[in-house]
Amino acid sequence: MLDTPPDERFDRITRIAARVYGADVAFLSFVDADQQWMKSKTSDALSDHIERDRSICTMVVASGAEMVIEDMRQDPMLEGHPVARDIPWRFYAGVPLRGEEGSVIGTLCILREEPGAPPAFNIDVLRDLADISSHELTLARRNTELHQLSNTDALTGLPNRRMFDQEFHRSWRRARRTGVSTSLLLLDLDHFKEVNDTAGHQAGDQVLAKFGRFLSSFAARPDDLAARVGGEEFALILAGSDEPGAAKVADAIIRALDAIALPHPLRKVITTSIGCATLRSDEDHVNWWTRADRALYAAKAGGRAQAQSL
C-alpha cells in the first residue's frame, strides 16, 4: 500500500472520522522502517509524510495501544518532542491499524486546533473505523494478489508491461518520498529476431523463458522489480541503487548471461544490451524512462552486448 495513489475506500473513512468528531484533520497512515506516510488525509495542512522518529503516531505504533492527548503543547509526555510544540493542532486521538497477522502497520487519527476533547468524545467510533480500515487492507492485499496473477507474463513468469507501468510509477513516488536512490535498467536481447527466423518461435520462446528466470535473480531486494515490457524487451527497477551501483548490476548481468551461454543459432550465445538511468531529484517518471531508453539505444548503436548510462 505504500506510495499508492489516493483510494476512495480510505478517503471515505477519514471523512467520516472528521465529521463524527468535528476534527480539523483526520488521517490514515502507514509506517515503514523510517517514515510515516499518509494514505488518506482530510487537509493539505498535514504533510504527506514525516520521519518516523518525529511522528507523534510512532508512540501508538510502538505501544500498539490507542492514545488520546488533550493538549500536545502541555502534555509532559511530549516534553522535548521535535514537532509537538510547533504544529497548529493541540488535541490528538489515534488508534492503531493492524495487518492480517495482528502487527501494527499504521494509525487512524484525528487532530483539533483547540485543546481538549470534543463534546461527548468517545474513542469507540475511531476504533471501529480502524477495524473497518484493517478489513479494507486485507481485501486490498488479496485483490493485489489476484491483480498480480492476471498481470503476469505467462511465458517468463515476470510481471507484464501493464503491471510494470503501475509499479514503475509507484517506485518513482517512493523514491521522491524517501530520497533513496533508484535506478532503471532497460534490457533488449541482441539479434533476437534471428532466433525466431532461424530456429523457430518455439526456440525463441525457450530463450525468453530462460532469460526471464535469469533476470529475476537480479531483483534481489523487496522493492526491486524485473518485468517483461515487450517482445524481447525487459526492465529492472533497482531500489536503493545509485548510478555506480546500477552500472555494477548491469555489468554483472552481461557477465552472468555470457557464463550461462544461452545458445544463439547464428552468434553462438545470447547477449543483451542495457540502458541505465538513475532517477534525478527533480525528474518526473516520463523523463526517467526516456533517459534509460536513450541509453539502451546508445548501447545497441555502440555494438551491443554492453551497458550505457545517461
* DSSP reduced 3-state for 92: strand
Q: Read out DSSP for 291-303?
A: HHHHHHHHHHHTT
CB 266 within 8 A of CB 197: no
CB 157 within 8 A of CB 213: yes
DSSP 209: H
CB 84 within 8 A of CB 73: yes
DSSP 159: B
Q: Which residues are catalytic?
A: 232
CB 256 within 8 A of CB 309: no
**CA-angle at 106, arms to 102 and 108, nearest 5°:** 110
CB 28 within 8 A of CB 63: no
236 DSSP β-pair partners: 185, 226
The single-letter code of the amino acid at 129 is L
